[in-house]
Structure 1
């Protein structure tokens, strides 16, 4: 492994280490968000550009390093910026952060994985190159698959970057809007589990199924012809 790759791993490792050493996750709770809500609103009123830039930077770093806190940051987007603007900022930041994680994984590990397991992954890679958007939309929409694991796993395949970006952004809009919209009414939120109700989760899973239908249809049709 060359020096550039080692440096990237070192920087990421130090950043993650500091996050947990300083216990920064204690600030990423619903109680802390409510406690700081008025202060954040006042800062947004007096420094709107700095607030947007700072919020997006934090969200990008959190996503790129696969750190905890995405749910609270999505709620914060709605609480600070409102449902529509908050969704734009949250989705934009999450998309950028996910892309950075994808690219870092591909740069650091993809060659090694492909060299060692490439023959075993050839079928998966071919399928992703042909219908990767449908599969990625399914994984993003169905709330059973951890967001950060999808970023890292996709980076180890030959899924095109453009497909990853498009599938990620489109796939996280519905779920992202649910949490950002809830954050816009922060006073009514008592626990984050209340937001992801069975009805909401079922709706997202149904969207994921519809996204997967074209790929399933193509595979079934190919077997019958």
Structure 2
């Protein structure tokens, strides 16, 4: 194998290898166990004190953890969004959460676009390839819709966007705008966690999120999906063959 070939493979798959190693190391070391409401309850007072005394450093550490967690695809984005509100308030926490989520998503998108974009695009029957086809047709609006609906996992959307090789500018802007509503809602909930922790009762995801909280977020995503759906329907009508007149007898 030539030196140029080795360098090409390293550039293509090196970032993905780093992501996989960090993912395995995070689970093996038990880091993921600390991304929980119980951990936030135990360390909450100390974390808030540190955030008040060193706000800039706290935000920098928070963003590094958030970006790294999303980039490595650790299951803790929601907890981190709640933590942002808990530490920095509903406004500051919302800005910090959406920045961290967008940054981590961008890393994943770039890694998979570099490593597997060409390979997966050659398989039109694959699920990711079908999603990627929709992204290519109307990248910004399609991605914005997916971001507005929190039910779509970050990893799937990020990988599909990389496979589709959509412009980085469209990816970052649509991700940023699309995750603003849910990020600020979660930060607002997180800002009230201190009162719930002080009561001493059990605090679970089920007690934090009720239909009146998540249904409006889903509704925004459905509304955002209507314009591209309308354009698709109009295009189908325009390209449909006209009915032929019946032959007169």
Larger Rg: 2
- Aligned partner of 1:22 in structure 2 is 29
CA distance in 1, matches of 2:133, 2:81: 34
Q: Secondary structure at the match of 1:67?
A: coil
Shift of 1:126: 6.2
CA distance in 1, matches of 2:172, 2:231: 23
CA distance in 1, matches of 2:56, 2:73: 26
CA distance in 1, matches of 2:169, 2:94: 21
CA distance in 2, matches of 1:124, 1:2: 26
Shift of 1:95: 0.4
Instruction: Identify unmatched segments of 5+ residues in structure 2.
Output: 1-7, 198-202, 239-249
Q: TM-score, normalised by structure 2?
A: 0.82
* Aligned CA distance change for structure 1 residues 53 and 158 (closer, same or farther; 3 Å): same
Say yes or no: does 1:188 pair with 2:203: no
* Aligned CA distance change for structure 1 residues 140 and 196 (closer, same or farther; 3 Å): farther
Shift of 1:142: 2.0
Shift of 1:103: 0.5
* Aligned CA distance change for structure 1 residues 221 and 7 (closer, same or farther; 3 Å): closer
Structure 1 vs Structure 2 CA RMSD: 2.2
CA distance in 1, matches of 2:40, 2:132: 42
Per-residue deviation, residues 162-185 of structure 1 (Å, max 9, x unmatched): 221111111111111111111101
- Aligned partner of 2:234 in structure 1 is 221
- Aligned partner of 2:171 in structure 1 is 164
Instruction: Identify unmatched segments of 5+ residues in structure 1.
Output: none
**Mean CA deviation greater in 183-192 or 24-33:** 183-192
Per-residue deviation, residues 38-63 of structure 1 (Å, max 9, x unmatched): 11111112222111100100000001
CA distance in 1, matches of 2:111, 2:25: 20
CA distance in 2, matches of 1:18, 1:99: 21
1:45 pairs with 25, 29, 52, which one?
52
- Aligned partner of 2:89 in structure 1 is 82
* Aligned CA distance change for structure 1 residues 119 and 160 (closer, same or farther; 3 Å): farther
CA distance in 1, matches of 2:66, 2:136: 29
Q: TM-score, normalised by structure 1?
A: 0.90
Aligned residues: 224
* Aligned CA distance change for structure 1 residues 219 and 6 (closer, same or farther; 3 Å): closer
